[in-house]
Amino acid sequence: MIRRDRASLRRFLAPALACAALVAAAGIPEARAAAGDWFRTDHGDVRLVAASDAVGQDGTVRLGLQFRMRKGWKIYWRSPGDAGFPPQPTWSGSANLARADLDWPLPERFTVLGLTTLGYKDEVVLPVTARLLEPGKALSLRATVPYLTCDDICVPYEAKLGLDLPAGAETDTREAALIARFARRVPSRDGESPLAVDGAWLDDAGGRPVLRIAARTDGQFVRPDLIVEGPPGFRFGAPRTELARGGVEATMQLAVTPPAAAGSGPAPPALTGQAITVTLIDRGQAIERGVEVQRGTARAPPAPLAPETQAAPEPFAQPAAFGWRDFAVILALALAGGLILNLMPCVLPVLSIKLLSAVGHGGAEAGRVRAGFLASAAGIVTSFLALASLAVGLKAAGLAVGWGIQFQQPVFILLMAVVVALFAANLWGLFEIALPGAVADAAYRAGEGRHLRAHFAMGAFATLLATPCTAPFLGTAVGFALSRGAAEIYAVFTALGIGLALPYLLVAAAPRLATALPPPGPWMVTLRRLLGLALAGTAVWLLTVLRAQAGLVPALAAGAALTAMVGVLALGRVLRRKPGGLTWGVAALCAILAVALPPQLERLSGGAETAAGDRPAAPRPSGLVRWQAFDPEAIAGHVAAGRVVFVDITAEWCLTCQVNKAVALETRDVARQMNGVGVVAMQGDWTRPDPAIGAFLKRFGRFGIPFDVVFGPAAPDGIALSELLSQREVLGALAAAGGRPAVAGQGR
């Protein structure tokens, strides 16, 4: 009986003692040796951390060099770019350390005053693998780490760090997860990866060497990036990416700056035949590969595909040769697109300018009419040439280019709002336009300067307000031009300008179309006031675009400043026959506040609901269709699962987009299909710049919106729709992408 009681007691006490031991172990504080002391400065801190609290028998220890920077300050990657130098630890004074291998997580790219650097902000842990001289024995680490930290200024430091780990059984520390998190960001050097680098070629035929890297992926490139490290002295710019074969292949071009020759010393070394290190990044994954640079412009072929799966090159890939006949077709399309642009909804806000320019010539001499309309046409073509110059400059700088992208900038919106308000005030008779300029100086001396300058300015102004629209044929022409060089861009944009100016040129050729109208009289005053209200409505529309970009408070502030500007001009007109110097001074101050104040208020209020470049979790409810947020990475998965994906790229400033919603997308028949089972409706907002949307448009050779495309099991590469949508076209594309016949009678 006693023996049984003792056995029962042992069975009871054994689990209890084990639980007590676990509780006691849980209460033991973490070993201090898991992290060394902080080296603290005014701009950040650094220390050594370890993934285990002791040294085991496997001969290696996982460590980390942990940096915490103050807000705005950064340190540099192993290849810092155009400036800076990275942390360079030395381990003299350490005991039982054979060597320490430092790894580098993926850096951020920073651009300041045209200089590009690579580094880290906020916090980073550089993983370190310590290899021991004698496994199983204690490790004593002593590190000297010179590094540079920069914000507006740069400050060099030299940190003295230490960490001691005893011998014993290894136990993960609290820092182990932190080290592992940053270790996952280190590019893969071997093993399988969906990313691959096919080769590198140097093309120096144009005078300035360009490095081309050919890459591919198992899925689809989304936002590929590339970092190149070469022989000492060579510098490589940020990559410009051209996708092909539906985003499976990429050709990435980088400007190369070779090291300069020193005086009469030897010439700079050639890059051809030398090894470079390429880090390819996309979709949160990265690989690091060493390749040898070859001479030429060709790309290595990817893994062979079956003939039926091979796709034709995309129109935005490496430009193919074209003949003058093909180029003539493009110019004809540009001319037609510019002409059709006169009928697009974006031109409605400037209808008052066009109407007034025609009515104002009633009863005038034919020569004066011809000169006025030619001046308006010259203003249109000149504006298109200015847009072409802007596109060429942005492209040369490696920045995104597109049709109407100036409306993505709040400052441009504000400047246009000020100009529109001034035009409205002029039509209301608050002041007279007397614009200076060298374009019409000769005519001015002949007595016609003011007349011609006003018409020239109206043509230029009408062009700027018309650019948020994409007309049929215009997208094809602009896409071709922006994928080519400066000569093609200027030629196509000139053709677009001539197309938009054709109605003015027609009146200039046949002045009777304008002189047959009634001569100006008292009725013109009423007409000018009504047309001024139309322009005031345009200013309100511009402020609604600003509200979507910057928020409600900045838009209200801009509206108040514009109202004050017009009010001051009206008061000056009432008190005097025409506004004087004081009136214009106060009005100018209001205009400056209208442009300068909203950006400051945007920063103070935290910006609009969606920051530039960030996509919301879901679009704002906008009608009958249940839109999801634009997610290009998810499209392939939906299609593989048998779903149809409709993608609508829109913007608040795109009036054609709003018309498409009203007449096609947000209609009952289309919404029923969009919201049905097996259909995913995605909407991307390009009101502010978004690199993902820009890359998506470029995949299809498009540089402007609206853009709508449908993917599905029967159309994995997508069916791009026209700029002006109809219900019939949308429903037909949904059916075709799903591999089923369209329902007869649906849509109009």
Residues 6+ apart with CB under 8 A from 363: 515, 517, 518, 519, 520
Lowest mean pLDDT of 142-156, 244-258, 461-475, 731-745, name the range.
461-475
Cβ atoms of 604 and 674 within 8 Å: the answer is no
pLDDT in tens, 315-344: 333 333 445 666 777 788 778 877 777 766
87 — pLDDT class (breaks 50, 70, 90): very high
The stretch 651-664 carries a mean pLDDT of 80
The stretch 291-296 carries a mean pLDDT of 82
pLDDT in tens, 175-187: 888 998 899 889 8
| Residue with more model confidence, 192 or 2 | 192
The stretch 12-25 carries a mean pLDDT of 45
Which structure tokens are listed for 666? 């947000």
* Identical fold between 35-183 and 628-738: no
Lowest mean pLDDT of 188-197, 601-610, 730-739, name the range.
601-610
Residue (of 640, 625, 641) closest to 708 by Cα position? 625
Tell me the Ramachandran region of residue 728: left when phi exceeds 0, alpha when psi lies from -120 to 50, beta otherwise.
Answer: alpha
pLDDT in tens, 193-238: 788 888 888 887 656 788 899 998 887 788 888 999 888 878 888 8
Does the structure show a pLDDT above 60 at 257?
Answer: yes
pLDDT on residue 746: 46
525 — pLDDT class (breaks 50, 70, 90): low
Lowest mean pLDDT of 152-161, 344-353, 689-698, 706-715, name the range.
344-353
Percent of the chain with pLDDT over 70: 70
| Residue with more model confidence, 327 or 422 | 422
Give the three-class secondary structure for 3: helix
Does the structure show a pLDDT above 80 at 56?
Answer: yes
Does the structure show a pLDDT above 70 at 478?
Answer: no
| Residue with more model confidence, 444 or 110 | 110
Report d(CA 310, CA 316) in Å as an integer.
17
| Residue with more model confidence, 508 or 122 | 122
pLDDT on residue 124: 95
Does the structure show a pLDDT above 70 at 561?
Answer: yes
Instruction: Name the most confidently modeled range: 46-60, 280-294, 367-381, 610-624.
Output: 46-60
Instruction: Name the most confidently modeled range: 285-289, 527-531, 685-689.
Output: 285-289
| Residue with more model confidence, 412 or 303 | 412
Residue (of 457, 493, 471, 439) closest to 350 by Cα position? 457
Percent of the chain with pLDDT over 90: 16
Lowest mean pLDDT of 95-99, 331-335, 482-486, name the range.
482-486
Lowest mean pLDDT of 107-121, 359-373, 416-430, 548-562, name the range.
359-373
pLDDT on residue 98: 92
pLDDT on residue 301: 40
The stretch 710-731 carries a mean pLDDT of 86
Report d(CA 94, CA 100) in Å as an integer.
11
Residue (of 204, 196, 198) closest to 272 by Cα position? 204
Report d(CA 70, CA 151) in Å as an integer.
10
65 — pLDDT class (breaks 50, 70, 90): very high
Q: Are strands 644-650 and 679-685 parallel, antiparallel or unpaired?
A: parallel
User: Does an H or E element contain 574, and which?
Assistant: helix 552-575
Report d(CA 261, CA 269) in Å as an integer.
9
Does the structure show a pLDDT above 50 at 387?
Answer: yes
Lowest mean pLDDT of 42-51, 371-380, 521-530, 578-587, name the range.
521-530
| Residue with more model confidence, 22 or 122 | 122
| Residue with more model confidence, 131 or 7 | 131
| Residue with more model confidence, 443 or 698 | 698
Give the Cβ contact number of residue 286 at 10 Å: 19
pLDDT on residue 120: 94
pTM across the whole model: 0.42
| Residue with more model confidence, 432 or 460 | 460
**Is the Cα dihedral 392, 393, 399, 405 positive or negative?**
negative
pLDDT on residue 207: 63
The stretch 424-435 carries a mean pLDDT of 69
What single-letter amino acid sits at 718?
Answer: G
Does the structure show a pLDDT above 70 at 667?
Answer: yes
At the second CATH level, the architecture of 628-738 is: 3-Layer(aba) Sandwich (3.40)
Residue at token pair 């710019």? 237
pLDDT on residue 346: 56
The stretch 148-165 carries a mean pLDDT of 88
Give the Cβ contact number of residue 266 at 10 Å: 7
At the second CATH level, the architecture of 35-183 is: Sandwich (2.60)
Does the structure show a pLDDT above 60 at 438?
Answer: no
> For residue 297, what is the DSSP state?
S
Selected from 3.60.21.70, 2.30.30.30, 1.10.10.10, 2.60.40.10, the CATH number assigned to the domain covering 195-259+271-301 reads: 2.60.40.10
Residue (of 714, 648, 652, 717) closest to 678 by Cα position? 714
Between the CA of residue 420 and those of 241, 423, 424, 558, what are the distances in Å?
A: 38, 5, 6, 13
Domain map of the chain by residue range?
Answer: 35-183, 195-259+271-301, 324-605, 628-738
Lowest mean pLDDT of 617-626, 630-639, 702-711, name the range.
617-626
pLDDT on residue 61: 92
User: Does an H or E element contain 529, and which?
Assistant: helix 523-550
pLDDT on residue 97: 92
> For residue 94, what is the DSSP state?
-
Burial grade of 165 (CB within 10 A; 0-12, 13-18, 19 or more): buried
CA end-to-end distance (rounded Å), the chain: 95
pLDDT on residue 340: 72
| Residue with more model confidence, 6 or 652 | 652
Residue (of 80, 185, 81) closest to 124 by Cα position? 185
The stretch 404-410 carries a mean pLDDT of 63
Does the structure show a pLDDT above 90 at 141?
Answer: yes
Give the Cβ contact number of residue 59 at 10 Å: 14
> For residue 653, what is the DSSP state?
T
| Residue with more model confidence, 584 or 545 | 584
pLDDT in tens, 258-270: 776 444 444 456 7
Between the CA of residue 270 and those of 227, 229, 256, 572, what are the distances in Å?
A: 20, 15, 11, 69
Does the structure show a pLDDT above 80 at 548?
Answer: no
Does the structure show a pLDDT above 70 at 711?
Answer: yes
pLDDT, mean over the chain: 75
pLDDT on residue 179: 92
The stretch 354-371 carries a mean pLDDT of 62
Residue at token pair 């540009």? 334
The stretch 51-72 carries a mean pLDDT of 91
